[in-house]
Amino acid sequence: MKKHLFLLLSLSLLLSCQPENSAKNVSGSALGTTYNIKYFSDEELEVEFALDSVFNFINASMSTYQNDSDISRINYGDTNVVVDEHFVKVFKASQKIYKESKGFFDPTVGNLVNAYGFGPEKKPEQPNEVFLDSLHRLVGFDKLQLSEDNRIIKEDPGIYIDFNAIAKGYAIDVIAEYFDENDVSDYLIELGGELVAKGRNKQKDSDWIVAIDDPEQIEGERTFQTILALKDRAMATSGNYRKFKTDSSGNTFVHTINPLTGLAEKNDLLSASVLAENCTLADGYASAFMAMGFEKAVVLLEELDNVDAYFIYVNNGEPEVYASEGFKKALRE
């Protein structure tokens, strides 16, 4: 389950003309979560208008919570939908991560997400083994094709596509492209805990500073596991903070839907924070790692180029930390 796992430090809520090297800030709600953006520019940009456009495009293309979106129409069986460039880019990124993760990242798990009550569809009384097995037969991103005229071809009309595990990361990349095209070289974009950090925080003359939540914090408290400095990288976290369970033997675990089995299985990975060249990939890899569990996640991480990660996992009932060498370089005490 996605959580807001990052705190953007010293972020004001004003958007106005300010002195040189002072930040412009904008915040709000979109895509079922909140966003905060901090940037430096001598020009007066129509940022709020641009953001509204981006969010409207993303929702119209990929929101499973919007009945008339392209993805909803495809899920309901409309074979005449010609998808837009946003859908195509997310489809191809998903295809890449699906192959690299050997199926642990799979947007066709949507039927199971709904069955377990995590999606927009009404949850059944109690999903039984036979029902779950029937849905699992519809899982497999290799059961989808993108035609030359940008139509989605499904092997079975019952396949349900859900890009929610990667769409927020993609939305951030689109916003980053807007700033790049307007010659803004220093900005921090955060949406629902995912982020892109470009350039520096000129106000503090430093790299951008963010923090990762402590998974053992109690309700109503905000404590942090660690902080890190970012420049020209994207970061996303998938996690189960405050949602893990302890069984009668004292073993701590979380429940994550495994696309390979179709079951909500015990998993020892509490959170995966991922650094990548863009937030689409960071978001998708973080979701893949969570489905894999700690040991398999480390194996995949070592196979990926320009991807680093920070895992909080459970070992003998206690949270432990693993950080790749590249991630360690970004950590700050």
HEC assignment per residue over 25-65: EEEEEECCEEEEEEECCCCCCCHHHHHHHHHHHHHHHHCCC
Residue 234 pLDDT > 50, yes or no? yes
Report residue 115 CA to chain centroid gap: 21
- Measured between alpha carbons, how far is residue 264 from residues 3, 57, 72, 115, 135 in Å? 19, 32, 24, 11, 13
Domains with residue ranges and CATH for the chain: 67-154 (1.10.3980.10)
Task: Determine contact, residues 73/128, Cβ cutoff 8 Å.
Answer: no
| In the chain, % of residues over pLDDT 90 | 70
Residue 121 pLDDT > 50, yes or no? yes
Provide the pLDDT for residue 8. 41
280-297: pLDDT as tens digits: 999 999 999 999 999 999
Backbone phi, then psi, for 62, in 5-degree steps? -130, 10
39-94: pLDDT as tens digits: 999 999 999 999 999 999 999 999 999 999 999 999 999 999 999 999 999 999 99
Distance of alpha carbon 164 from alpha carbon 34, whole angstroms: 15
Tokens (6 digits) for 304: 């990926």
Residues in the chain: 333
The enclosing H or E element of 131 equals: helix 129-136
Q: What is the DSSP letter of 143?
A: G
Q: Which residues pair with 35 in a beta bridge?
A: 28, 191
Distance of alpha carbon 235 from alpha carbon 308, whole angstroms: 9
Q: Predicted confidence band at 246 (pLDDT cuts at 50, 70, 90)?
A: low
Exposed (0-12), middle (13-18) or buried (19+): which is 118, by Cβ within 10 Å?
middle
Distance of alpha carbon 160 from alpha carbon 168, whole angstroms: 19
Question: If you average pLDDT over residues 161-166, what whole number do you get?
Answer: 96
Amino acid at residue number 14: L
| Residue of 186 and 332 predicted with greater confidence | 186
Q: Does residue 324 have a known ligand-binding role?
A: no
| Residue of 120 and 210 predicted with greater confidence | 210
Amino acid at residue number 297: A
Q: Does residue 283 have a known ligand-binding role?
A: yes
Distance of alpha carbon 240 from alpha carbon 248, whole angstroms: 20
How many CB atoms within 10 Å of residue 305? 6
3-state secondary structure of 228: strand
Task: Determine contact, residues 158/111, Cβ cutoff 8 Å.
Answer: yes
Q: Does residue 84 have a known ligand-binding role?
A: no
DSSP assignment string, 150-197: S-EEESSTT-----TTTHHHHHHHHHHHHHHHTT---EEEEETTEEEE
Q: What is the pTM of this model?
A: 0.88
3-state secondary structure of 97: helix
Provide the pLDDT for residue 176. 98
Distance of alpha carbon 266 from alpha carbon 158, whole angstroms: 27
Distance of alpha carbon 260 from alpha carbon 236, whole angstroms: 23
Provide the pLDDT for residue 116. 80
Closest to 297 measured CA to CA, from 109, 104, 76, 85: 104
Strands 252-258 and 263-267: antiparallel
